[in-house]
Homo-oligomer: A and B are copies of this chain.
Amino acid sequence: MERKRRHDPERRARIIEAALSVIAEHGVAGCTHRRVAEAADVPLGSMTYHFDGIDSLLAEAFALLSGRIAEDYRATLRAAPDIAAAREAVVALICNGPWGGRGTMTQIFELYAWSTRHPDHAGLMSGWMAQSREALEAHFTPAQARALDAMIEGVMIHNLASAALIPPEEVRAIVRALTGG
């Protein structure tokens, strides 16, 4: 009988990471203890040891996802020195789109669906949006920030669905229209 990797401090984090990738591939519907365990290369027993149940694992996974994306968002905008650059940053956010491939977008949809059905975790969605709005308000008025934020979301979804991407030039024009430039 052989026991391996008893000491493995990254394990918990690796499980969460694995959960995200399982979600991307199989959705929340297919995110089972066993599948995640295999993806993370940990024994099944580790699942119930590290997490209180599948829902609590999902909650942590989604928290990681939203935190990560919000950070990306913030960083991109913070780097902009003036309004013109900020506008261009927004264009970049939209066009570089789902921050890491199609899978990320799937994860985001699953997050939306899941958090809508779990009022206890509604903060995942609203907090994230508050953060992105706040990041935008460093450069724009609150009303403009609201409009841009919604626009980013909407364009990304449409870009994902219809394969025919809205060209950057057009995105730029929209951003200009929304920010009175």
Contacts and interface: CB of A to CB of B under 8 A. Distances in A.
A34 interface: no
Interface string A95-126: 00000001001100110111011000010011
Contact of A116 (B102, B147, B151, B163): B102
Given A27-B114, A113-B106, A158 B170 contact: no
A137 interface: no
A129 B162 contact: yes
A166 B178 contact: no
A109 B105 contact: no
Interface residues of A, number: 44
A157 interface: yes
B143 A170 contact: yes
B162 A158 contact: no
A122 B160 CA distance: 10
Overall SS of chain A's interface:
helix
B129 A158 contact: yes
A1 interface: no
A25 B119 CA distance: 12
A155 B154 contact: yes
Top 10 closest pairs, chain A to chain B, by CB? A154-B154, A150-B154, A109-B113, A29-B29, A153-B154, A125-B161, A109-B112, A150-B155, A106-B116, A110-B113
Given A27-B28, A153-B158, 18 more contacts: A27-B29, A27-B117, A105-B116, A106-B113, A109-B113, A109-B116, A110-B113, A112-B112, A113-B113, A125-B161, A126-B161, A143-B173, A147-B170, A149-B154, A150-B155, A151-B154, A152-B154, A153-B157
A150 B113 CA distance: 19
Nearest to A107: B113
